[in-house]
Amino acid sequence: MLERIRIILIGTSHPGNIGGVARAMHNMGLADLALVAPRCEVITQDSISRASGADHLLHQANVHATLEDAVADCTLAVGASARSRTLPWPMLSPRELADRLPTECQAADSRVALVFGREDSGLTNAELQRCHAHVHIPTNADFSSLNLAAAVQVLAYECRMAWLNQADSQANAPAPVPSADDALATHAELERYFEHLERTLIGIGFHDPDQPRQLMARLRRLYLRARPERMEMNILRGILSATEKAANTKPPKP
Ligand code: SAH
């Protein structure tokens, strides 16, 4: 289970924090670290010293240009946020998130992403809207923002506790493994669907990109809440293609 959990840091600006995250992860048995457009060097004296012996995680970290690239193969993405945002999104406590992990990580090709934001400005609305759910670590409402590595530590600890509890209960009854037929759509498949949906809605005159009125954000929230399976995603894309064809808006094949 722990190897299916990816920690993603977006736009980090202090190498020491990245080192602190590596240490927090290795302490809790997590190893998959991804960095999206870091705003500092990753391997520095500071990051290595804060990693305190977990610097192999820094060397093997994958660096991506965009969040989409970092979550492309993920079946669940959860954004960690210190603040509440304009459009309410499904919210989890760290414990509720951890309780879901054993089931979420059962299928062989499942991947869970925990996404963390910038030290100065957190995650943007667009980034949060790419996540199925948000997790908030309950803190003093007047002083809610944790240091990045401290926030990773809290969630990594909850992951480990869920894994330890699972190991205990598995000794009694092994959980059934889901079949490949009901594999969840990956993030990349969902993104392709959202692009196709937006194109179709513009084509049939339902959506005006100059007056978006959060339509795509609301639709994202709906589909992410439904957790479509790959097969269902194919049906929905087929419906879009048929809609485009019927409305004669399908772009010609290059
Ligand atoms: N100043 C930023 C927070 C930066 S802290 C803001 O106001 O949004 C860096 C990152 O740590 C955040 O983007 C978030 O991913 C995580 N984090 C910090 N405190 C958190 C909390 N209480 N709950 C969940 N995540 C938190």
The answer, yes or no, to whether any atom of ligand 1 lies below 6 A from the CB of 83, is yes
Q: How far apart are CA 109 and CA 104, in angstroms?
A: 10
Residue with tokens 């190893």: 31
The answer, yes or no, to whether any atom of ligand 1 lies below 6 A from the CB of 128, is no
What's the gap in Å between 75 CA and the centre of ligand 1?
23
What's the gap in Å between 145 CA and the centre of ligand 1?
5
Decide yes or no: CATH 3.40.50.920 for domain 2-169: no
Determine how many CB atoms are found less than 10 A away from the CB of residue 182: 11
pLDDT of residue 83: 77
- Ranges of each domain in the chain: 2-169, 180-249
8, amino acid identity: I
Pick the CATH number of 180-249 from 2.40.160.40, 1.10.8.590, 3.40.50.720, 3.30.43.10: 1.10.8.590
Residue with tokens 């302490």: 27
Domains 2-169 and 180-249 share a fold: no
Q: Which atom of ligand 1 is nearest to the CA of 122?
A: 13
Low-confidence ranges of the chain (pLDDT < 50): none
SS3 114: strand
Extract the tokens encoding 46: 């500071």
What's the gap in Å between 153 CA and the centre of ligand 1?
12
